[in-house]
């Protein structure tokens, strides 16, 4: 047995041991000793009998076991979704939360297995794959995901209503904004009754966390909890899109958010705490999905490249990518309305020109216009990415842009990141696509 945890409660100490066999953990095998303050001892023994001669060698590789487990979980999750009325099938690869680990099953059917933990639409699943035959011995959901209901702007009222005249009116409810609200399904909730799930964790919020016993989160926009629903829905949507592109390790975690807790008209990602904070100055930032997606862009790059943004141009790439990520996520829901305009609703509180835009992804800047301010210089990068999308299409562009990010240095330059992007295009799609990407960067005088 191996001591794995010691806990102290009001009434005493608790010692938890993991049963092992030839150095491998035994699934479900535990031993606990509870020592009261007066010295009384209680024992809980969950050890399994394992034959002394059990062979723990393997013939199945861990990667093969992971692939088998994930394929089975994915198929089951999609069958379950398609069987529910009104639910479409979301076919996506299932991500593992960690490497496959060797373990032993005790009892009459004792054997050595690969223990694989997977995430899917149905939650977190533990699969045990026979390390000699490759058969899935057990597949058990250990943390359920459920669907809830909510109401959001998608992506924001200026775009959905195609109305540049809308104004915030100090966060008041308005008929025009009520019409802009859209009823949606909130997927992958963890069942806690809060807006927490596989990809989103509303950790703190002005006015307290939204809670619902039946997982219904429908509020009008004057209610601060409306922004919490916005964050949950739009982050879940964008991570599901990333997964659909084939990426299982791009910020594949429950991203922490602090909603409406900053008084100023600004939102930001803090890499030291891996937290995104949204502000409530002017238009509440989280009422505009493009603000949410922009900040998530920073979290993506920090997750893929630890410490990303160590140079001015790397910082500008971060801002440009955030703007691009906001716009590309708007493509499916914006019906082509002012697509290159970034943060149309949020910008109504600080711009007078129409259309209202914080920045645009179709500007004319080149490296001749670099001024050392990352948001300004980011417009050079976002225009190049936008041109790539216009030439190759949304799916191809987003896939190669995310793939290239894995090869960035934390202090990369425009030229270095552009070369990484060209290489990703060449490897994913061939010479013609690489030339298209090269041309986009040459137009910005990056290459």
Contacts of 236 (CB under 8 A, 6+ apart): 186, 187, 188, 197, 198, 199, 200
SS3 207: coil
Q: What is the pLDDT of residue 123?
A: 63
- In whole angstroms, give the CA distance from residue 336 to residue 397: 17
What is the bridge-based pairing of β-strands 255-262 and 275-279? parallel
Show the low-confidence residues of the chain (pLDDT under 70): 78, 80-99, 119-124, 142-144
**pLDDT recorded at residue 120:** 65
User: How confident is the model over 224-277, as pLDDT tens digits?
Assistant: 999 999 999 999 999 999 999 988 889 999 999 999 999 999 999 999 899 999
Helix (H), strand (E), coil (C) string for 370-415 = CCCCHHHHHHHHHHHHHHHHHHHCHHHHHHHHHHHHCCCCCCCCHH
3 burial level (CB within 10 Å; 0-12, 13-18, 19+)? exposed
Handedness of CA 378, 380, 385, 386 (dihedral sign): positive
Which pLDDT score, from 0 to 100, does residue 117 have?
A: 83
- What's the pLDDT at 74? 79
Segment (H or E) for 423? helix 414-429
Cα separation of the two ends of the chain: 60
CB 375 within 8 A of CB 315: no
Whether pTM > 0.85 for this model: the answer is no
C-beta separation of 311 from 339 below 8 A: no
DSSP for 211-232, written as a single string: B-TT-EE---TTSTHHHHHHHH
**pLDDT for the residue 141:** 72
Dist. CA 193–CA 257, nearest whole Å: 17
């Amino acid at each position: 047995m191996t001591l794995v945890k010691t806990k102290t409660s009001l009434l005493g100490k608790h010692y938890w041991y993991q049963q092992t066999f030839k150095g491998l953990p035994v699934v479900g095998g535990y031993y606990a000793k509870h020592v009261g303050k007066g010295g009384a001892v209680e024992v809980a023994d969950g050890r399994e009998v394992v034959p002394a001669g059990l062979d723990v060698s393997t013939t199945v590789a861990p990667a093969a076991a992971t692939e088998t487990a994930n394929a089975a979980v994915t198929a089951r999750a999609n069958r379950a979704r398609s069987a529910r009325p009104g639910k479409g099938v979301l076919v996506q690869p299932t991500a593992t939360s960690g490497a496959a680990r060797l373990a032993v099953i005790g009892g009459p059917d004792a054997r050595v297995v690969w223990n694989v933990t997977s995430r899917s639409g149905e939650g977190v699943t533990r699969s045990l794959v026979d390390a000699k035959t490759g058969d899935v011995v057990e597949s058990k959901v250990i943390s359920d995901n459920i669907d809830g209901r909510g109401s959001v702007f998608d992506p924001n009222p200026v775009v959905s209503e195609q109305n540049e005249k809308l104004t915030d009116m100090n966060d008041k409810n308005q008929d025009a904004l009520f019409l802009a609200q859209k009823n949606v399904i909130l997927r992958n909730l963890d069942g806690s009754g809060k807006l927490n799930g596989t990809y989103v964790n509303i950790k703190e919020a002005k006015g307290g966390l939204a809670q619902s016993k039946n997982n219904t989160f429908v509020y009008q926009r004057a209610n601060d909890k409306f922004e919490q629903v916005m964050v949950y829905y739009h982050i879940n949507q964008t991570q599901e899109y990333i997964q659909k592109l084939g990426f299982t390790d791009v910020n594949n975690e429950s991203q922490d958010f602090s909603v409406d807790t900053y008084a100023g008209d600004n939102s930001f990602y803090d890499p030291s705490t891996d937290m995104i904070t949204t502000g409530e100055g002017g238009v509440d930032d989280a009422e505009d999905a493009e603000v949410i997606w922009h900040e998530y862009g920073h979290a993506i790059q920090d997750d893929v490249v630890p410490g990303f943004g160590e140079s001015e141009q790397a910082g500008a790439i971060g801002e440009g990518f955030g703007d691009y990520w906001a716009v590309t996520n708007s493509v499916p829901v914006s019906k082509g309305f002012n697509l290159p305009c970034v943060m149309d609703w949020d910008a109504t509180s600080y711009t007078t020109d129409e259309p209202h835009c914080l920045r645009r992804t179709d500007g004319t800047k080149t490296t001749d216009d670099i001024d050392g301010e990352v948001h300004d210089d980011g417009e050079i990068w976002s225009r190049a990415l936008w041109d790539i999308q216009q030439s190759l299409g949304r799916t191809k562009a987003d896939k190669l842009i995310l793939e290239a990010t894995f090869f960035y240095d934390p202090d990369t330059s425009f030229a270095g990141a552009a070369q990484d992007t060209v290489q990703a295009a060449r490897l994913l799609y061939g010479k013609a696509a690489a030339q298209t990407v090269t041309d986009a960067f040459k137009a910005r005088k990056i290459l």
